[in-house]
Structure 1
Amino acid sequence: MVIFALYFVIGLLATTLGAAAGLGGGVIIKPVLDLFGHFDLPTISILSATTVLSMATVSLMKMKQQKIKLNKVSSSILAFGSILGGILGKAIFNLIAISLNIPNITAIIQSSLLVLLLLVIVIYFKNKDKSRSYRLTNKCIILLVGLALGLLSSFIGIGGGPLNVAVLCLLFSMTTKNAGYNSIFIIFFSQISALLVVAFTTGFGAYNLYMLLVMIPGGIIGGIIGNSLILKLSNLSIEKIFNFSVILIIIINISNIIKIGLSL
């Protein structure tokens, strides 16, 4: 029961922060589950994707009720690109983690790449007010950006949240709050695609997914709480939550790299 309660709390806290700041939650769930080491990488990827999808579904339903307007044209193109990139990223992940049977090396690559990307994001947001932002309108370029986002996010297994927010702020001149809304929209489709890839390739029968019994409810409640927070908090407060979460994730991933490195 203690383990079930722990995984419920992980799903709840990760998706609450994810819904509030557009992080999604996978960027928190994945490294935390890596740290515990209870499941292998492919299973963690499915647990994370399903929990985040439950959060994104609830969040989008709430946004519709609250009549929050999204940049649906750009976000839809980014989402479509992310789906294509996600399929490619998942194929690369399966090749390295499953076919080559080097899970520890794959985990180190994932964590190291995530730390590098998050450090770049932290530096960007620290200097965001001094940096130039853009308003992309070329649909082909937007599609390529989505493709790159999906590939990286799927390979790392994070759902794309922090990458989405940074790109939406930089390339579409959105506030952190608006970027968070649109990020959830993109995450919804990217997580569906990630799960469909599993369904049509390996299937779900080979994975130990009993923790979804508590992680999905955690994701649903997290989506409700996070959506309420993003409505009440200012753009500056959302940015602080985002930066705090990203720094915390960097620390967890560095711990994972050290832990796995010592075990080799």
Structure 2
Amino acid sequence: MSILFYTAVGLIAATFGSLVGLGGGIIIVPALVYLGPMFVGQTISVSTAVGTSLAVLIFTALSSTLTFVKQKRVDFKSGWLLFITCGPGAMLGSYTTQFVNAKSFQLSFGLFMLLMAILLVLRDYLKPLNVKWHIQRSYTDSSGNTYHYGYSILPALIIGLLVGFISGLFGIGGGSLFVPAMVLLFRYPPHVATATSMFVILLSSLMGSFTHFTLGEVNLWMVLGLAPSAIVGGWLGAKIASRLSSKKLLWVLRITFVIVSFKMIWEGLVLS
């Protein structure tokens, strides 16, 4: 039963996560915390769920990043810039997890997921800012369409730090903030934002996972159970992203976020 549970969670989380650049941890963490006792036979602490999730994200992000690299959609220059602060931020967030009690985490994580649902909805309706940033880039897709976007170093570093901290704290990879920020603030083409986000998630997950591991918050058996299907899901999500419209899947993800967020907010308020 536990093998089927790990396989399903890893595949679903990685596929959705890779498809929209989230990383998948936002599905893995609540799945381990709420469904773990039923399918694994043990209660999984919040810190262990976060640490384990971040470790699994390494495999998801590696699989999807390699696929995106073959599609020539990863902007390595901006990705390395974002990682300068995202990596240390992920380590700081990972270290902070041990000081957050379970009920406070439930409330905070629930509010965060609700914010992610709102951002995913607004992403379809908000127009990117018409700002001429200091560094200008361009991207030509397989259909021959050329997109122009740009960024400035200081705003990019600040966003990287904030996203990295949240990534390490909640074990979610950070793409749920990276992608909207890159699309709305810097006018990245969505496919480039998703691919570059996964590359940064790969790097920051390595650093965040190391911190969680040193704190004894990574269950290696769970990582081994989740990793194989996460690798497949990372590859599958990247393939789907290149061929199909993600609107319907995005709405499924939004609805899931809202349901789980309300559940976690309710329990965080009532049980605290």
TM superposition score category, shorter chain reference:
0.7 to 0.9
Match of 2:116 among 115, 118, 132: 118
Supply the RMSD in Å over aligned alpha carbons.
2.2
Measure the CA separation in 1 of the matches of 2:92 and 2:19: 29
Unaligned runs of 5+ in 1: none
Question: Matches of 1:22 and 1:133 in 2, distance apart?
Answer: 23
Question: Across the two proteins, how many residue pairs are aligned to each other?
Answer: 249
Report the alpha carbon displacement of residue 83 of structure 1 after superposing the two structures with TM: 0.8
Structure 1 residues 119 and 238, CA gap change in structure 2 (3 angstroms): closer
Deviation at residue 239 of structure 1 after TM alignment: 4.5
2:116 and 2:63 map into 1 onto residues whose CA distance is 26
Is 2:53 the counterpart of 1:53?
A: no
CA distance in 2, matches of 1:35, 1:203: 21
- Deviations for 1:145-165, whole angstroms, at most 9, x for unmatched residues? 111111122222211121111
Residues 128-148 of structure 1, C-alpha deviation per residue, up to 9 Å, x if partnerless? 24x535445321221111111
- Code of the residue aligned with 2:215 in structure 1: it is T
> 1:176–1:238: 8 Å Cα contact kept in structure 2?
no
Classify 1:243/1:162 alpha carbon distance in 2 versus 1 (closer, same or farther; 3 Å): farther
TM-score, normalised via structure 1 length? 0.85
What does 1:1-264 align with in structure 2 at a 5 Å threshold? Answer: 2-36=1-35, 38-64=43-69, 66-94=70-98, 96-97=99-100, 102-115=101-114, 117-129=115-127, 131-134=128-131, 135=133, 136-199=150-213, 201-203=214-216, 208-233=219-244, 237-264=245-272
Question: Aligned equivalents of 1:25 and 1:179: distance in 2?
Answer: 16
Question: Alpha-carbon deviations, 1:216-244, whole Å to 9, x = none?
Answer: 011111112112212212xxx23443343
Instruction: Report the CA distance between 1:123 and its aligned residue.
Output: 4.7
Contact 1:165 1:183 in 2 (8 A): yes
Whether the 8 Å CA contact 1:23–1:242 is kept in 2: the answer is: no
Q: Is the 8 A contact 2:52 2:219 kept in 1?
A: no
Where does structure 2 lack aligned partners over 5 or more consecutive residues? 37-42, 134-149
Amino acid at match of 1:223: G
Contact 2:103 / 2:267 at 8 angstroms: preserved in 1? Answer: no
Cα shift readout 1:173-222 (whole Å, capped 9, x = no counterpart): 122222111111111011111112124x4246xx5442223200111111
Q: Which has the higher helix share?
A: 1
The answer to whether the 8 Å contact 1:25/1:52 transfers is yes
Q: Partner amino acid for 1:231?
A: S
| Change in 2 beyond 3 A, CA 1:114/1:23 | same
SS in 1 for 2:188: coil
CA–CA distance in 1 between the matches of 2:239 and 2:174? 22
